[in-house]
Amino acid sequence: MHELSIASAIVATVERHANGRPVAVVHVRVGKLRQVVPDALEFCFGMVARESVCEGARLELEVVPGVLRCAACSHEWVIEAPPFWCPECAAGDVAAVRGEELEVDSIEIVEQDEKEAACIART
């Protein structure tokens, strides 16, 4: 259940960028080669977001497919399941080009317009 740790790390990352302003949406990119369960991550995010700038925020997950590249023949392919060896030349020296992402891409911050802020200040 490391999704709890990852959700906490997402909230901590967002807090560094939100400057105390409430956040409506958090866009996160998760590679398919990570072992992160999107449903579990969303559940944990809702839990750890409480009493932070992320309270009530929506977590938008973009799942990035796993793309491997063979060092021997330069073939690139999308991997859905093992094996990880090259389907063209069967070499085992392959590296992930995409699919290992686990990053906060962007956040949508709720800003009060000046008039609204002034209104609230008067009441």
User: Residue 51: CB partners within 8 Å, gap ≥ 6?
Assistant: none
Cis peptide before 22 (omega within 30 of 0): no
* 38-68 burial: b if 16+ Cβ within 10 Å, else e: eeebbebbbebbeebbbeebebebeebebbb
Q: Look at residue 97 and give its three-state secondary structure.
A: strand
Q: Is 120 in the site for other proteins (CB under 8 A)?
A: no
Run of H or E including 62: strand 58-64
- Give the footprint of other proteins on residues 66-85 (CB under 8 A): 81-85
Count of residues interacting with other proteins (CB under 8 A): 41
39, 51, 113, 114: which one contacts other proteins (CB under 8 A)?
113
* In the complex, minimum distance from the CB of residue 118 to other proteins, in angstroms, rounded to a whole number: 13
1 binds other proteins (CB under 8 A): yes
CB of 56 to other proteins, least distance (A): 14
- Cα distances from 115 to residues 24, 35, 53, 112, in angstroms, run 21, 46, 22, 8
Site string for other proteins, 25-64 (x = CB under 8 A): ---x----xxxx----------------------------
Give yes or no for residue 116 binding other proteins (CB under 8 A). Answer: yes
User: Under the rule (CB under 8 A), what is the footprint of other proteins?
Assistant: 1-2, 4-6, 9-10, 12-14, 16-18, 24, 28, 33-36, 81-85, 91-94, 102-113, 116
